[in-house]
Amino acid sequence: MSVSLGESRVVRVGGDREKFGRDLYEGILLWRLWTMLGWSDIRQRYRRSTLGPFWITISVSLFVAVIGFVYGYLFHMDMVFYVPYVAAGYTLWGFVSASAIESCSAFKEAERIIRQIKRPFSVYLLRVIWRNFIIYLHTVVILVPIYIILQVHVGFVTLLAIPGLLLVFINQVWLGLALAAINTRFNDVLQIITTAVQILLLSTPIMWPVSALGKANIIAQINPTFHLIEVVRGPLLGTAPTLLSWTVVIVIDILGLVVALLLLRRVSHRIVYWL
């Protein structure tokens, strides 16, 4: 499938007169464009590589195996629970963290295109989110052999991972739009987000279970990132997420979209000058 940058029925109206959410709406309509660009990024990144993005699958598999079995043995964890728990959480965290970090440079990465062609700014952000989602799909498949080897049984509740993934995708869109806009003006944002991602990895129940906190599990409950991970990890492990997790993620997505779109509306006419 080939899509030209010059082909579009959508023209972005810049400036403060732009209607609320119009940039994102028009960007979504150009889904053929940003999906094509995302696939192109993957092909360019792994050109002349025999296994391509499956190298990431291999590296994540080795990491999960080491962390799962070594930590599980040291802390006397049930392997049937702990290894799939780490695998489901860490693969999703890879998508969340990578898309957040790369979103900071989404507009700068497309600087030449932005200067020459008028397109919705959200197209370049959706390109970043989409290519990282493709990588996530390459890594989450490690759950299949884990289920088989450890004889993990999951049921129809696993289908809840689909709306969970949609909510996570929406979260990355609003977060990415805000980060891309701010980082275009202030280059320090990328370094801040990179550091924040490392801290969140250690402070969020991804490689350690909530049960390890005992009565102090409130620490996890007040962490929005935990709920973001849980709406996908829970179903993948055969457990329905709590109503609290669904509520927190939905509310954050709604509020985040409103804030991000207001920010983009305010600065859209300045971004080209910041590049």
Count the alpha carbons within 13 Å of 75 in the hemisphere toward its beta carbon.
17
Note the pLDDT of residue 78.
84
Q: Per the domain annotation, does 14 fall within a domain?
A: no
The residue that leads in pLDDT, 195 or 17, is 195
- Asked whether residue 10 is domain-assigned, the answer is no
Q: Where are the beta strands (DSSP E) in 99-235?
A: none
> Do the domain assignments include residue 15?
no
Q: Are 177 and 261 within 8 A, CB to CB?
A: yes
Mean pLDDT of 27-31: 93
Domain carrying residue 255: 22-37+54-274
Domain count for the chain: 1
pLDDT grade, residue 60 (50/70/90)?
A: confident
Helix (H) or strand (E) holding 17: none
Q: Is residue 102 part of a domain?
A: yes
Chain-wide mean pLDDT for the chain?
87
- How many CB atoms sit inside 10 A of residue 223's CB? 17
Which residue's entry shows tokens 């250690």?
202
Q: What is the pLDDT of residues 168-198, one digit of tens each?
A: 999 999 999 999 999 999 988 999 999 999 9
d(CA 104, CA 101): 6
Average pLDDT over residues 130-151: 91
Polymer length of the chain: 275
Phi-psi region of 214 (alpha: psi -120 to 50; beta: other; left: phi over 0): left
In degrees rounded to 5, what are phi and psi of residue 207? Answer: -105, 0
Query: Does residue 13 lie in a domain region?
Result: no
**C-alpha angle 244/135/3, rounded to 5°?**
110
Query: What's the pLDDT score for residue 21?
Result: 84
CA distance readout (Å), 41 to 47, 131, 133, 140: 10, 7, 12, 20
